[in-house]
Structure 1
Amino acid sequence: MNLEEKLESITPRSLLKWIVWILGIATGFFGFVLTLYLMEFNNGFSNENSDWGTFGDFLGGTLNPIFGFLSLIALLLTIVLQSKELESTRIELERSASAQEKTEAALNKQSDTQSKQQFENTFFSLLDQHNKALEKISTPTTKYTNDRSDLDIVRLAVFSENHSDLQDAKNALEKYNGICGHYFRVLYQVLKFIATNVPDGSIGSEFSQETLANSKLAPSEKMYSNIVRSFLSYDATQLLAINCFCADSSNTYWNFKLLIERYSFLEHMPFKIKESDHVLLVSTKNFYEKNAFGRTQFKTSSEKL
């Protein structure tokens, strides 16, 4: 074992042994030098100060270098041990810091998982309520309605009559609020819940017209809104476009309009009824922002030319 390996193997117990050895060697040298002096000058104790001074000079001159050397060795051994302990402490602190970082990462991941699970539990519960409301207005009723659904009845009143513009059509739709109003309110709450509670979203509690229009759309926000959108039929989507019409941003429906645009909810809305462009549906392109229609494959007759 070389010197470096020996120094690396120093422990507090081995250092104590070294110090005991050094003290023993120092004591041995002191006894040896004192014995030599007494053997050479054995005239007993002197009464002269000069003799005692000479005796002190002899011991100091002989033993001081030896004691100094032994003290230096003891000091170096102590420094080596302290350095080793400091290195061990540093390594342990690094391990503790690394373990803490891993623990924090695991806790953050667990928290994210719990947040997502909590969000999805509420989301799918709301989605179930949405689907039930949609099914209720989409299912044919009694023979007195010629086996038509509530959705069919409302569409007939909105699109079959000669309404001059979207506001006129919206007024006609509101007359049937007792039939389909509940469904649109449920849909609005589902979309608002996605916007304000999706785990990676940027809106959160800051739900406003400004944040809806300007905040970045999170990937999962788009995914969950697409899930909701997939349940809407063409007929329901066309009525939704009329339902969200409003004159300006002071109207209570404006936030609903912004949600429709944010999530491209009209992407799968045809502009035709019975193979012909319907003026009301075509005019929605002038009311909604372009992103409301997403990457729609439906074109008006004028756009095909």
Structure 2
Amino acid sequence: MKVLLIALIAALIGVSIIAAYFYGLSKKDVKSKFVLQPFDSTLVAWWAAVFAILVVSLFFLNFDSDFIISNNIGQVGDFVGGLTNPILSFIALLVLLRTTMIQTSEARNTTEFLERQALFMDRQKFEGTFFQILNRLETYCEVHFRKVDPVTGVSEGERVSKLISANHLACSALSPISQLRRVKKDTRTLLYNDVCIGFNGRAMRALRLINNSDISDNLKRSFAGLLIDSMYPSERKIIVHFAFFYNRTARKMLRKWDFPRLKKHAFGCYLIFQYYKGEIGK
């Protein structure tokens, strides 16, 4: 019986070690994406066979010579079954546990893959829409702002741009309220027209798409940079002055995404430059 007791204690220790091993694997799977492999079926069969042989061997090593097996089949069955059934059930539980862990890991990987695929498709959809809007914006600019006058050699965008900042120094010397009134008066005939309204609508459609998308902030800034680079400096000058006076929402959005990236002398007055640089309130 001492041998049997030692074997049972060893089995208990083994069970504890295996349980701790599986606990460690579960943590490793979560943190480091360790890939579990299923138990080899041959290995499981050998485990079961070894345990069964061990139990039967313990029985034959410990039963009395006067004990007649044929007359005590029930006791033999109780002894062998009482020891082998828990052990074999535990082996089955280990196999089931490992299978469950593998299925859980695969389900998690599948979910992550589907999420990445959804993000990729959303990104593709966003890029397709963005570049379509950007192409229409550039076409609009080509028609209305970039054609060069054969007489003066100056494009319409450059002409309007120069007139916007023509009185920069004089306007900047006035009080804040006077600066805004003077620039708005000087630029009203230049900017408040169908061409600039259409230009503002197309440019802000692209910027709203960027602002409201689900992409990361770094990508948003990257696409905002593409939008800025697609415009000539004169066109950026037109859009920020139009938005400043006639579209409050557009004005805030342009400031948020670092438009127009122009020097202070390019503005109608210094106050507008300060606004887009974030130096004064919204």
Shorter chain as denominator, the TM-score bin is: 0.5 to 0.7
Q: 1:28 to 1:245 in 2, by over 3 A?
A: closer
Does the Cα contact within 8 Å between 1:150 and 1:179 map onto a contact in 2? no
In 2: Cα distance, 1:264 partner to 1:98 partner:
44
The one-letter code sitting in structure 2 at the alignment partner of 1:91 is R
Does the Cα contact within 8 Å between 1:170 and 1:243 map onto a contact in 2? no
Task: Select 2:264's aligned residue among 267, 271, 275.
Answer: 271
Query: What are the Cα deviations for residues 65-107 of structure 1, in whole angstroms up to 9, with x where unaligned?
Result: x743541211211112211111111111011011111111111
In 2: Cα distance, 1:133 partner to 1:71 partner:
91
Query: What are the Cα deviations for residues 20-55 of structure 1, in whole angstroms up to 9, with x where unaligned?
Result: xxxxxx99632xxxxxxxxxxxxxxxxxxxxxxxxx
In 1: Cα distance, 2:126 partner to 2:74 partner:
76
In 1: Cα distance, 2:269 partner to 2:249 partner:
20
* CA displacement at 1:156 relative to structure 2: 4.7
In 1: Cα distance, 2:220 partner to 2:279 partner:
15
* Residue 213 of structure 2 is aligned to residue 197 of structure 1: yes
% identical equivalent positions: 13
Give the root-mean-square deviation of aligned CA atoms. 3.4
In 1: Cα distance, 2:194 partner to 2:247 partner:
17
Does the Cα contact within 8 Å between 2:243 and 2:250 map onto a contact in 1? yes
Equivalences for 1:32-43 in 2 at 5 Å?
none
Unaligned runs of at least 5 residues, structure 2:
1-6, 12-42, 57-66, 172-177
Tell me how many residue pairs correspond in the alignment: 217
Does the Cα contact within 8 Å between 1:244 and 1:254 map onto a contact in 2? yes
In 1: Cα distance, 2:107 partner to 2:82 partner:
37
Aligned counterpart, 1:151: 157
Aligned counterpart, 1:185: 201
* CA displacement at 1:130 relative to structure 2: 1.5
Q: 1:167 to 1:134 in 2, by over 3 A?
A: farther
State TM-score, norm by structure 2: 0.65
In 2: Cα distance, 1:239 partner to 1:165 partner:
17
The one-letter code sitting in structure 2 at the alignment partner of 1:288 is Y
Query: What are the Cα deviations for residues 218-255 of structure 1, in whole angstroms up to 9, with x where unaligned?
Result: 11111100111112222223223321224xxxxx6221
Does the Cα contact within 8 Å between 2:255 and 2:276 map onto a contact in 1? yes
Aligned counterpart, 1:240: 239
Aligned counterpart, 1:51: none
Does the Cα contact within 8 Å between 1:151 and 1:180 map onto a contact in 2? no
* Residue 118 of structure 2 is aligned to residue 111 of structure 1: yes
Equivalences for 1:112-127 in 2 at 5 Å?
112-127=119-134
Q: Which has the higher contact order (CA 8 A, sep 6+)?
A: 2
Unaligned runs of at least 5 residues, structure 1:
19-25, 31-62, 201-217, 247-251, 293-305
